[in-house]
Amino acid sequence: MITVVIRPSLTQPPFYTHGVRGPSFVVASQRAALQTLAELRLVYDRQLRDTVYRFLPMRTPGSHRSIYISPLAQSSSAIARVMRLLEAMDILHTEAVLDADSQHDTIDYYCHSSENLNHENADLHRQVQQNHHLRTEVEELRRQNELLRQGTIVNTQLRQQLKELKKDLEEIAPLPPRKWKSLRFPTVKPKRISHSAPPAGPSSSTTPAPTTCIEPVIESSPELP
């Protein structure tokens, strides 16, 4: 890399510093020289307007093309040599600008690609987490299904054992059919009242009236089974 430094004098600090790279030392030197001349042309435009350096390329802002001022003496070989040199440098600068633009586009492309890959990676990470949760739920459902299946097998075995046990009991001591007795509820029978003549007394008005006494008779019911 070649560094371009422009300063007004040796005692003053530089007001422009720029590093230039290239595929080779010669190309980097040419780019550095072109960059230096372009900066001097922009800074000292008024001072260089009436000198031989007025043939340096002058670029408009936002454009990589240069404009040359017509020479006063086209027959001068020195000026023609300078013009060819400046034209070659301008072509080199144009290629450098286009190269930089292509590199900038390439950098932008890779930046966008990196962002897209980051978004895709985040989406894949979320999908992996969701799949992990789903896998956990599936394993839990499988475990519960296995427990239910084992419980069904155990119940079937118990039913079979109960059937066999009942069959064995019937073979050993068959049980007679059980008779159910009808339920009888107790009935209450009133006691008969005997009507006797009242005893002789002083007056029937003072004789108390006969009383009625009912004693319930409860019959015993058969024992319930």
Domain ranges of the chain: 44-123
**Per-residue confidence (pLDDT) for residue 224, from 0 to 100:** 47
Taking alpha carbons only, the member of 45, 36, 99, 98 closest to residue 67 is 45
In tens digits, what is the pLDDT along the chain, a chain of 225 residues? 778 777 777 787 877 777 888 788 877 887 787 777 777 767 666 666 666 555 555 555 565 555 555 545 455 666 667 667 777 777 777 788 778 877 777 888 888 888 888 888 888 888 877 777 778 888 888 888 788 877 777 777 788 878 877 777 777 765 566 666 665 656 656 556 555 555 555 554 455 555 555 555 555 545 544
- Element spanning 16, H or E: strand 16-20
- 8 A C-beta contact, residue 36 and residue 44: no
Q: What are phi and psi of 168, to 5 degrees?
A: -65, -40
CA–CA gap between residue 55 and residue 48 (Å, rounded): 9
Which class for 127: exposed (0-12), middle (13-18), buried (19 or more C-beta within 10 A)?
A: exposed
- 8 A C-beta contact, residue 68 and residue 40: no
